[in-house]
Every structure is written in structure tokens, then in C-alpha cells.
């Protein structure tokens, strides 16, 4: 389960790094990344007690990114292209987070 947490953490750090180095600091997206890492950490630190709160943080990740898309649009105003990096990173984040939740669920049953 620690590896899945590191996976979630790595993707979020990569996402924030991309934003900072490209000069496109987007507070909603960075807040979403922080929420997902906190949720994954809560699951890791207390699998039985905090899984629900961790999953709620996963929903907050989706909600904050959804708000970002509703405000900023699905295309990048600077390039005019579809926000493929956003959707790729979101998909990777959610798949890794879901795997992390699944591992916590399996370890609870053991």
C-alpha cells in the first residue's frame, strides 16, 4: 500500500512541477492535487478509520478539477488545443488513487 501512496504522490508532484515550471500556477488544480495526496495519506495512516475521509478527498479532487474546467474551459487558451495533459494526469491520478483505496479495502479484510 505504501507503493500506491508513492504513486499518487509522484503524479501529483509531477503535475504541480509542470504547472510551476511552465508559469501556469493554477490554484484550483494545485489544491486538487494536495487534497488527493492528503486523502491517500489518510488511507495509508489509518486504513480502517479514515478510508471514507480519504475517498471524500478523492471526490474533492474531481470536484476541484471540474470547477477548474468549468471556469477555464477544456481547451488551453494559449495554445487553443484540448487539455490532454490535464486529462491524462487526472486519469492517472484517479486510477492510482482507486488502486490505493482497493489495497486499503483488501488489507482491512485480512
Residue 50 has pLDDT above 80, yes or no: no
What mean pLDDT is predicted for residues 90-95? 96
Query: E strands, the chain, where?
Result: none
Percent of the chain scored above 90 by pLDDT?
Answer: 62
Q: Does 77 have pLDDT greater than 60? A: yes
Number of domains in the chain: 1
Residues spanned by the domain of 30: 2-109
| Share in percent of the chain as helix, strand, coil (round to 5) | 85, 0, 15
pLDDT of 110 higher than 60: no
- pLDDT on residue 108: 65
DSSP reduced 3-state for 46: coil
Q: Is the pLDDT of residue 52 over 90?
A: no
**Predicted TM-score of the model (pTM):** 0.89
Amino acid at each position: 500500500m505504501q507503493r500506491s501512496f508513492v504513486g499518487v504522490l509522484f503524479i501529483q508532484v509531477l503535475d504541480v512541477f509542470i504547472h510551476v515550471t511552465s508559469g501556469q500556477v493554477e490554484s484550483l488544480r494545485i489544491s486538487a492535487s494536495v487534497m488527493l495526496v492528503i486523502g491517500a495519506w489518510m488511507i495509508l495512516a489509518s486504513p480502517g478509520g479514515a478510508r471514507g475521509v480519504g475517498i471524500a478527498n478523492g471526490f474533492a479532487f474531481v470536484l476541484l478539477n471540474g470547477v477548474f474546467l468549468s471556469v477555464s474551459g477544456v481547451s488551453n487558451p494559449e495554445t487553443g488545443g484540448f487539455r490532454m495533459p490535464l486529462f491524462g494526469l487526472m486519469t492517472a491520478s484517479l486510477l492510482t488513487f482507486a488502486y490505493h483505496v482497493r489495497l486499503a479495502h483488501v488489507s482491512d479484510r485480512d
